[in-house]
Amino acid sequence: PPPGQSVQLGGLVVDGSVVHHTDGRVEFSIRDNIAADRIHYRGDLPDLFREGQGIVATGAFRSDGVFEAKQVLAKHDETYMPKQVADSLKAQGEWRGDGAQRPAS
């Protein structure tokens, strides 16, 4: 995307890439199966943020190619689901979160 266009990036925080600055800035890299990007962020990071953890960052690329994040969210593991979504799936007979198989049609 062109510099300044708001986008979301997702990936795993690269081990050894996190740098905390005394002024509150944090720099880190994320990687997925295709690419790696450097991210700069100013603010409080989520409690689940750590190296090797999946994150989603919202922000924009600068003209120098660095991603300036406005928000960083740590991804829960794949078994996490908000209660209201799980309840809705259970009510529809679609819930498989506890290992149950979908009924045969």
pLDDT at 11 over 70: yes
CA–CA separation, 39 vs 99, rounded Å? 37
pLDDT at 28 over 50: yes
Pairwise pLDDT comparison (19 vs 33), residue with the higher score: 19
Query: According to the 3-state scheme, what is the secondary structure of 1-65?
Result: CCCCCCEEEEEEECCCCCEECCCCEEEEEEECCCCEEEEEEECCCCCCCCCCCEEEEEEEECCCC
The domains of the chain, with CATH numbers, are 7-74 (2.40.50.140)
pLDDT at 47 over 90: no
Half-sphere CA count of 65, side-chain side, radius 13 A: 5
